C-alpha cells in the first residue's frame, strides 16, 4: 500500500520482490488446500478473525460512531413515543413542548447527536483522536501541504495536525518562507475545519537530536511524525 500511496518515497526494496513473495505464499496455501481440503474451513475462520481484529483496530473510531448512531436512533424512537403519551396526559403543554423540541432538533441529524447516553463513547473517540501528528515541511508549497492534509484525513486517526518547519538561520529568504508557510497553514485550517492545523517554526538543524527535542518538548512520540 505504501508503494501505491507514497510512490515518491525512496526505498531499497523493489516491487517485484513483494509480488514474488505474495505469489509464493499463494502457491503454498493452494498446495495445502489441495492436500487436505478440510483446512480451507480452518483457514477461512482464521482469516476472518484476524481481519476482524485488524479492522477494529484501524477503524475503531468508525465502529464507535456506528454504535453512537444506533444508540441515538433507538433512544430517539423511545423519546418520541414518550412525548406522544405525555401530550395526551397534559394537553396544555403540547404546544410549548413541541416548539421546544423543534428548536432543539432543527435540521440536526439524530444519529450525530452527543447525548448523555453516548457520552462515554464520545469521550473515547476524543481520546483516540486527540493525539496530534507532526508533518515536517521544507518549502511553502500549496500542493504538497494539501496532499499531506488529505493523507492525514484519510489514513490517520487524529483531529490535530501540526506543520513544523525547521530552518538553520534567520535570513531574509528563510523568514519569508516562514511567513508564507504560516499563511498557508492558516488558509488550510479554514478550508478543513474538522482537522485543526497549526504551524510551528523552529530554528536549528534537521537531525535526530532535533526530533528527540520536539518529541520531549510537545509530548509527541517520534512515530507520530
User: The dihedral of CA 199, 205, 207, 210: what is its sign?
Assistant: negative
Q: What is the pLDDT of residue 97?
A: 42
Q: Which of 69-73, 107-111, 164-168 has the highest mean pLDDT?
A: 164-168
How confident is the model over 48-72, as a mean pLDDT?
A: 84
How confident is the model over 175-189, as a mean pLDDT?
A: 94
pLDDT of 192 over the 90 cut: yes
> By mean pLDDT, which of 23-37, 141-155, 184-198 is the weakest?
23-37
Percentage, residues of the chain above pLDDT 70: 75
Homologous superfamily of domain range 130-224 = HUPs (3.40.50.620)
CA gap 115, 72 in Å, rounded: 8
pLDDT of 201 over the 90 cut: yes
CA gap 9, 2 in Å, rounded: 9
C-alpha closest to that of 126 among 99, 93, 157: 157
C-alpha closest to that of 225 among 154, 134, 141: 134
For 79, the grid coordinates are: 423519546
Higher pLDDT, 185 or 42: 185
Q: How do residues 132-144 score in pLDDT, each as one tens digit?
A: 999 999 999 999 9
Domain boundaries, the chain: 17-68, 130-224
* 9 phi, psi to nearest 5 deg: -75, 125
pLDDT confidence tier of residue 114, bands split at 50, 70 and 90: low
Helix (H, G, I), strand (E, B) or coil at 199: strand
pLDDT of 20 over the 60 cut: yes
Amino acid at each position: 500500500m505504501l508503494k501505491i500511496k507514497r510512490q515518491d518515497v525512496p526505498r531499497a526494496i523493489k516491487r517485484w520482490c513483494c509480488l514474488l513473495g505474495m505469489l509464493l505464499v499463494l502457491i503454498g496455501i493452494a498446495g495445502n488446500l489441495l492436500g487436505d481440503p478440510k483446512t480451507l474451513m480452518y483457514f477461512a475462520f482464521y482469516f476472518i478473525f484476524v481481519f476482524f481484529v485488524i479492522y477494529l483496530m484501524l477503524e475503531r473510531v468508525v465502529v464507535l460512531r456506528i454504535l453512537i448512531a444506533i444508540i441515538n436512533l433507538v433512544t430517539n424512537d423511545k423519546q418520541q413515543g414518550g412525548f406522544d403519551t405525555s401530550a395526551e396526559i397534559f394537553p396544555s403543554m403540547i404546544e410549548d413542548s413541541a416548539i421546544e423540541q423543534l428548536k432543539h432538533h432543527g435540521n440536526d441529524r439524530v444519529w450525530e447527536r452527543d447525548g448523555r447516553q453516548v457520552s462515554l463513547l464520545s469521550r473515547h473517540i476524543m481520546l483516540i483522536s486527540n493525539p496530534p501528528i507532526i508533518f515536517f515541511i521544507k518549502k511553502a508549497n500549496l500542493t504538497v501541504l494539501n496532499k499531506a492534509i488529505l493523507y492525514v484525513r484519510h489514513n490517520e486517526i487524529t483531529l490535530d495536525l501540526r506543520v513544523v518547519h525547521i530552518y538553520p538561520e534567520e535570513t531574509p529568504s528563510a523568514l519569508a518562507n516562514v511567513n508564507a508557510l504560516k499563511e498557508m497553514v492558516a488558509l488550510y485550517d479554514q478550508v478543513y475545519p474538522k482537522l485543526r492545523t497549526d504551524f510551528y517554526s523552529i530554528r536549528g538543524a534537521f537531525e535526530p537530536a532535533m526530533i528527540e527535542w520536539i518529541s520531549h518538548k510537545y509530548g509527541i512520540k517520534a512515530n507520530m511524525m
